[in-house]
Amino acid sequence: MKFILQPGGALHGAFRVPGDKSISHRSIMLGSLAKGITDVEGFLEGEDALATLQAFRDMGVEIEGPEQGKVRIHGVGLHGLKKPQHPLDLGNSGTSMRLLSGLLAGQDFDTVMVGDESLSKRPMERVAKPLRMMGAVIETTGEKGTPPITVRGGKPLHGIHYDMPVASAQVKSGILLAGLYADGETSVTEPAPTRDHTERMLNGFGYAISSQGSTVCLHGGGDLLATRIDVPADISSAAFFMVGASIAQGSDITIQHVGINPTRTGVIDILKLMGANIQLLNCREVGGEPVADIRVCSAQLHGIDIPEALVPLAIDEFPVLFIAASCASGKTVLRGAEELRVKESDRIQVMADGLQILGIKAEPTPDGIIIEAGQLGSGTVVSHGDHRIAMAFAMASLRSSGAITVEDCANVATSFPGFVELSNKVGLNIRAVN
């Protein structure tokens, strides 16, 4: 599928974007492992979260829905999963595979996990290695520590302390999920703050988990008790419209019920440093997660040196932040973001290639990019099957001098079903063509 975008426009209206992807994955995982029935609202009906949902159905969990964001999970308890009949197919979803690696290490059956072309290239040793230290037997059977992954069951796990070399919420969460099945204490120290949805949700399921500074710690052998989960709208999906409204003159939007967990709000901080006009309205807490309505009006942005401390807090938003940088005045420099090279695509190279096609000076560096603002032109860019690259270039059309075609956009459905319809409703001009 490709997107064909006509240039110009402004964004208007009050609207909601789909549910948070990270929280949706975790709601299925913890709901399945809990005792009792967990009701979820606002669940993301995107392919990634649905891959997690299917994996748990394949392991014998009865799950009703999703229907209009509602899911009912009949939890089987920590020891109630059944051996799946086939390898678990996790599609494009790194979160599913890395979190499940930890969870499956605690089962008494063997499992194989596979993924699509992009997931099959992503590094899995980062989670397999600490899990082996806990006693797990895990093989990354791809060429370079990549999927498929085989997890052997029936191996007793013991708690460890792990100092994570990379700031990764997926690795942290994979270890904590294995820790539920381990003897004694499991603790993880992160080199920089990463999203803490697993910790918050474990707490919501009544599981004792403590954190001190950058270390989080739990003891194995407890129980999860079913609960209700209200999934807020995904700030990573809201980010496209936050940038769109900032760069398109005359825009004024309000994105409703967005999760503003402080481990996710780097995009707001970075845009504000660039001069964006963003207000958080009606701040409240919903089911242990902070939520707000986000109002964004257009503003003249200026280039900045992005503070490295904000990188993990905005890690999924850089593709669209690079579009903001292209429309700002002056130069924007990103450093300390080598992780972007191992996301659904090499987001540094793929964005630099696309920006250059559109006439922007974008120089990739090993751990970031240097972008000189300029006039976005027109042309055909390739998303390499990366949902966030496709949506970022869609926003570029708001300021381009001519039409933009974005190729390979089908994976937008992994995180943002209905993106084209919503975008057209609020002021973009996109046609999706097969």
Q: Which residues are identified as catalytic?
A: 316
- 95 near ligand S3P, judged by CB under 6 A: yes
For ligand S3P, the closer CB: 110 or 308: 308
Only one of the segments 153-161, 163-171, 328-336, 348-356 lies at the binding site for ligand S3P (rule: CB under 6 A); that segment is 163-171
For ligand S3P, the closer CB: 30 or 328: 30
Burial class (CB in 10 A: 0-12, 13-18, 19+), 90: buried
Spatial CA neighbour of 187 closest among 147, 225, 218: 218
Question: Phi first, then psi: what are they for 432, rounded to 5°?
Answer: -95, 125
The rounded distance, in Å, linking the Cα atoms of 13 and 231 is 22
Q: How far is the CB of 173 from ligand S3P (least distance, A)?
A: 6
The mark string for 301-340 relative to ligand S3P (x by CB under 6 A, - otherwise) is --------------xx----------------------x-
Only one of the segments 27-35, 54-62, 162-170, 301-309 lies at the binding site for ligand S3P (rule: CB under 6 A); that segment is 162-170
Q: How far is the CB of 277 from ligand S3P (least distance, A)?
A: 27
Q: Are 113 and 149 in contact (CB under 8 A)?
A: yes
The mark string for 166-195 relative to ligand S3P (x by CB under 6 A, - otherwise) is --xxx--x---------------------x
Going from the C-alpha of 181 to that of each of 22, 55, 128, 134, the distances in angstroms are: 22, 19, 16, 10
For ligand S3P, the closer CB: 105 or 164: 164
For ligand S3P, the closer CB: 277 or 349: 349
- 234 near ligand S3P, judged by CB under 6 A: no
Residue 421 has a CB neighbour count (10 Å cut-off) of 11
- 235 near ligand S3P, judged by CB under 6 A: no
User: Which residue from 5, 11, 19, 22 is in contact with ligand S3P, where contact means CB under 6 A?
Assistant: 22
For ligand S3P, the closer CB: 88 or 169: 169
Only one of the segments 102-110, 164-172, 220-228, 253-261 lies at the binding site for ligand S3P (rule: CB under 6 A); that segment is 164-172
The rounded distance, in Å, linking the Cα atoms of 17 and 226 is 26
Token look-up 């979820």 returns 40
Q: Which residues, listed in sequence order, are joined to residue 152 by a DSSP beta bridge?
A: 137
Q: Which alpha helices (H) appear in 279-335, and where do they start and end?
A: 318-327
Burial class (CB in 10 A: 0-12, 13-18, 19+), 308: middle
The rounded distance, in Å, linking the Cα atoms of 342 and 171 is 14
For ligand S3P, the closer CB: 95 or 254: 95
- Enter the tokens of residue 319: 């593709």
Binding stretches for ligand S3P (CB under 6 A): 22, 95, 168-170, 173, 195, 315-316, 339
